[in-house]
Amino acid sequence: MYEKITSEVREAIEAIIGKENVLSGAEKTVDYSHDEFSLREIAREPELVVKPETEYQVAEILKLASGRMVPVTPRGGATGLCGGCVPVCGGIVLSLERMNRVLEIDTENQLAVAEAGLRLSDLATAVEYAGLYFPPHPGDESAMVGGLIATNAGGSRAVKYGTIRSYVRGLEVVSPTGDVLQLGGKFIKSSTGYSLMHLFVGSEGTLGVITKAVIQLIAKPALTRSLVVPFAELEPAIDTVPLLLKRGIVPMAVEFLEVEPIALAEEYLRLKWPTKMGKTHLLIILDANSEEEMDRLSQVVADVCVEKEAMNIFIAETPSRQEEVLSIRSKIYEAIKAGTVEILDISVPRAEIAGHVRKVGEIARKYDIWLPTFGHAADGNIHTHIMKARYMNGQMVPVPVSEWRDKVDKVREELFRDCRERGGVISGEHGIGLVKKPYLALVLDEKQIDLMRGIKKVFDPAGIMNPGKIFD
């Protein structure tokens, strides 16, 4: 179906973007063959890596690729965890790393205009310098704007502020046939035809290439405060969340954490978590615009936690102490990464979290495998880590491949089936990509998948855009 890249095609691409921005050969392209998914067996080397700098260059490359039936895989920061930017059919990896500018911070409309290759950390710096705030904050600072939008990235603040989808006001997109589309804009409301822009949010590079985004910002809250609340068991910790919401408290974030991964992150960072009490901890982050409001919110949270039999309440009030607590939480994955096969991001109704986590425990015992689990308690997004290590005497100890390799697919499928039974979905923020593709039909009926295939065909009639992802 797809064609190999001829010398003629390569020369045409070099004429568009310059020879120095076209890479080939294993030693130069190997870093572009994978994302952060741990098993390198899914990696595939592209024939060419191309690095355009403008939307015009992207358009010319896609026109060429579409005409010659060459597959194209868009790539941002490659921080994904499900093989979303793996070039499974070879062809071209189109890296957006050179399209990395903040084009505008519009303080009047509270908007940022940024290129798709801008890193999250650089966006946050520019926005904060302007005195504004970008609420969604997915975990990896090196993720790029285009990739965040292409996967509808979330993060811990989604309960109050929503996912990336809620902040995309406009997109510049290049279609697979090389047309540059301006979708949305600096306005908030539109009832003007189908929202084509929102089709690209979460499309994982299968419909076209996002080159530019208009992103909504807000005023930065004056104060934040982090509370660490230990519980003897999981259920009362999880039951605290709906009660908080019923009492009118919508925290910036509520994370539930098991003590084992916390201990490993402490050791990894040489920092101290506020307590070692209990089995499950809630990390509750509040924001407010005055000390009075913050104290009121904190008191209500404390009352609810005590009502649900919290063992204690620890407040990280100073900026330095908050930074330590947040660093430990955000670096848990880094602390256990060497022993991780895969991070799941199942999303279930909030009331189903405890039941699903209990099921995780049952499956861990059934297969004799370590499955540390934590996540976003207030939005139902659960991160179970399928491990190739054990937790023993406060340390992460590797186990032989023979003890975990044949269990991974079985564990993943059982957890996805439990997710389906609880009315959930198999991805809340990471996307489907390559790794989760075989399981999509577990949670979506065939009619929905057929409609998605139809949309794909309309946008990408030649089927060149990131082939092999989400569905076949």
Q: What is the DSSP string of 34-47?
A: --S-S-GGG----S
Backbone angle region of 468, left / alpha / beta, with phi > 0 → left and psi within -120 to 50 → alpha: left
Structure tokens at 432: 């489907």
The H or E element that residue 414 is part of is: helix 408-421
For the chain, 472 residues long, give each residue's pLDDT as a single digit of tens.
899 999 999 999 999 999 999 999 999 999 999 999 999 999 999 999 999 999 999 999 999 999 999 999 999 999 999 999 999 999 999 999 999 999 999 999 999 999 999 999 999 999 999 999 999 878 788 999 999 999 999 989 999 999 999 999 999 999 999 999 999 999 999 999 999 999 999 999 999 999 999 999 999 999 999 999 999 999 999 999 999 999 999 999 999 999 999 999 999 999 999 999 999 999 999 999 999 999 999 999 999 999 999 999 999 878 889 899 999 999 999 999 999 999 999 999 999 999 999 999 999 999 999 999 999 999 999 999 999 999 999 999 999 999 999 999 999 999 999 999 999 999 999 999 999 999 999 999 999 999 999 999 999 999 999 999 999 9
Task: Tell me if 170 sits within 8 A of 184, measured CB to CB.
Answer: yes
Task: Tell me if 153 sits within 8 A of 210, measured CB to CB.
Answer: no
Domains parsed from the chain with CATH numbers: 102-219 (3.30.465.10), 222-431 (3.40.462.10)
Rounded Cα distance, 152 and 466, in Å: 17
Rounded Cα distance, 384 and 360, in Å: 8
Answer yes or no: pTM beyond 0.85.
Answer: yes
